Amino acid sequence: HANHTNMRMEQSHAHRTEEMDVERLLVRRGQPFSLALQCFTTLPPKHKLWILLDKWWFRQQGAQSEVLLTIHSPADAPVGLYSVTVLLLSPDGHILEKTTPDTFYLLFNPWCKADSVYLPDEELLEEYILNENGLLYQGSWDQISSLPWNFGQFEQDVVDICFEILDNSPAALTNPEMDTANRADPVYVSRTITAMVNANDDRGVVSGRWDGKYDDGVPPTRWTGSVPILRRWSEAGAQRVRYGQCWVFSGVACTVLRCLGIPTRPVTNYSSAHDTDGNLNVDYLYDEQLESVSEGRKDMIWNYHCWVESWMDREDLPKGYDGWQALDPTPQERSDGVYCCGPCPVKAVRDGDVGMKYDAAFVFSEVNADLVTWIVYPDGQRSQVSLNQNTVGQNISTKSVYGDYREDITKHYKYPEGSVKEREVYEKAGRRVTQPNGAPGQLELKIKHAQAILGTDFDVIVEVHNVGGEDTPAQLTVTSNAVTYNSLHRGECHRKTASLTVPAQKAHKEVLRLRYDHYGACVSEHNLIRVTALLQVSGQPEVILQEVNIQLSMPQLHVKVVGDAVVSRKLIAHISFTNPLPITLRGGVFTVEGAGLTAAREIQAPDDIGPGQEVKVKLSFKPTRAGLRKLMVDFDADRIRDVKGIATLIVRNK
């Protein structure tokens, strides 16, 4: 009868997937979509059409030689790849004919009220699902910097790779039926993604490394977006990509979750605690000479730490925990035996409900731990010599929905520091509210520094103020170390000890000159110097500790795009960089990428670049998609890394 070899699928604009660069149909669950069926003769009366899809229903409208089928998917159907076949049945139920199967992807649908990721705010969805560019915040709490990142969730093959990641999870490999059923649940899917973005236990995507040795891979600071990482993983047959650090893990997780249809945003916490022993304190240990003696897996405070938040209902928890959930793909501590973290309701962290799954106690300590300093004596005894209750967890940041500026979301994670409510939450979280010992001392310690530029010499001034009424003798130790953003030491630059007597109501100033020819050799790829000052009042047990992280500022890279920005028409980008260092740079390489503009490409700098010298390269590319687009550029050489530049352009259709 009807030879329907020609089955054409049409998808409606309503699914907001038209940006996605894929061969096959993409639809969002809980929302009808249409299939057009071409028939070469009209359908005989009393014959039935039947669609092979479970729990789904459809409506048909006939026209001369075309039948329009409108298919309705349940809002709690598992996401993934579906196959659809249309059958023609005779009045007595025999299969007369069937079409060749066609496949489509079903995604989460935050536009649909019945979906557990429903977010009723168009402006938020515009950012948290549809925006392919964003900012990841870095630096330190008092010097915040932003890194442009290309999420590229609608770039070619990305949606295929997202499902490939789910298919490679241990659960999918050992029990595929159960895994498929669980994919209806964003809690399950997001937790699987945080475990799979790091390669610690499984066939995960990115391998983390923090020790500065990246020669057998790509240095974490060189990436400008997620797509090259995802493609590299997939093309190598689910082989881990080297190397990532926290912002890379969160950038990749954000791409995957947005692509699957779960509203997601990257988040940065400053002075983020990494509490290894679960006591909700970060313990710094020093000997009597004030040399650090923290060994092995020590508690640390990271300058910043990035994770993501995803929006979803928590039907698995008591009422009140829906909304933003923290998910941390960076491998830090195991959760249920695996390196993953979350989803943890942000509200549970704020209210001190540390038993709430998943991993609320760990996230709670990241934003709330107390910093306790101890002196360890030769016999192994230790005494607590200082307590800092408001260092950890500051300026928690994400990119604003309204543009390229920072939104502070600290209040979602904690009540105001020192408020009654905050102390209550502490008690509830099972904290012993530690008391600083002794009366407040007479001496106060401050560290000041001018804006420090990589490649220059600069001064750090340590001030000891005596607010009391009598002259006070003390011992001051100041050290400066090249550190990574997550507090690994790469080398001591300087150490100075002084015995001093500070006159009543006066201040003593100690100046430390940090020279490039000294720190340049050991500075990490994050260009950070940490200055620690420890002051011990003679004859008193207590020690006053102050620490600053000095972010050496980096030069900018200039990116200028010339030409008319039109889809498929050639554009030229001129990229230039001036060497700010007093030494020659070798092995310079530019990395360029941009969603809808160009796949990632590398351009070698033509020569060595002398001190103060400028290097220029140009690149031609053809935009593939219209809209607001960003071209990201990174420059790396032997003695300078992570120099970034960006050009924004509006691409028109032909």
Task: Consult the annotation and say whether 368 binds a ligand.
Answer: yes
Rounded (10°) angle between helices 158-167 and 246-260: 100
| Annotation marks residue 459 as catalytic | no
Residues 267 and 306: their CA atoms lie apart, in Å, by: 6
Place of tokens 């990641």: 165
The token pair at 403 is: 């543009």
Return the sign of the alpha-carbon dihedral for residues 410, 411, 412, 417: positive
The one-letter code for the residue type at 244 is: G
Structure tokens at 88: 């023609």
Region of residue 139 (phi > 0: left; psi between -120 and 50: alpha; otherwise: beta): left
- The amino acid at residue 580 is P
> Of 274, 305, 508, 526, which one is the catalytic site residue?
305
- Determine the Cα–Cα distance for residues 636 and 654; give it in Å rounded to an integer: 36
Instruction: For residue 547, say whether it is annotated as part of any ligand binding site.
Output: no
Question: Where do the H-state alpha helices sit in 105-221?
Answer: 122-128, 158-167, 170-174, 176-182, 186-197
**Catalytic-residue membership of 328:** yes
Active site residue 493: no
The two three-digit tokens of residue 466, written as one number: 């005596």
Name the phi and psi angles at 167, rounded to 5.
-65, -20
Tokens 């009220």, residue located = 113
3-class DSSP state for residue 146?
strand
Residue 422 annotated in ligand binding: yes
Residues belonging to the chain: 654
Q: Catalytic one among 39, 162, 246, 341?
A: 246
Tell me if 322 is assigned to a ligand binding site.
Answer: no
Residues sharing a CB contact under 8 Å with residue 236, sequence separation 6 or more, in sequence order = none
DSSP states of 520-536: TTT--TT-EEEEEEEEE
For the chain, the first-to-last Cα distance in angstroms comes to 44
Q: Sign of the CA dihedral 250, 256, 262, 263?
A: positive
Element (H, E) at 267: strand 264-274
State whether residue 81 is helix, strand or coil: strand
Nearest 5°: the CA angle 170, 256, 214 is: 80
Q: Are 223 and 229 in contact (CB under 8 A)?
A: yes
Q: Does a cis peptide bond (omega within 30 degrees of 0) precede residue 343?
A: yes
Complete DSSP assignment for 556-584? --EEEEES--BTTS-EEEEEEEE--SSS-
* 36 Cβ contact list (under 8 Å, min separation 6): 7, 8, 9, 10, 66, 67, 68, 69
Cα–Cα distance for residue pair 528/554, rounded to 1 Å:
11
Q: Binding site membership for Ca(2+): which residues?
A: 368, 370, 417, 422
| Residues identified as active-site | 246, 305, 328
Q: Binding site membership: which residues?
A: 368, 370, 417, 422
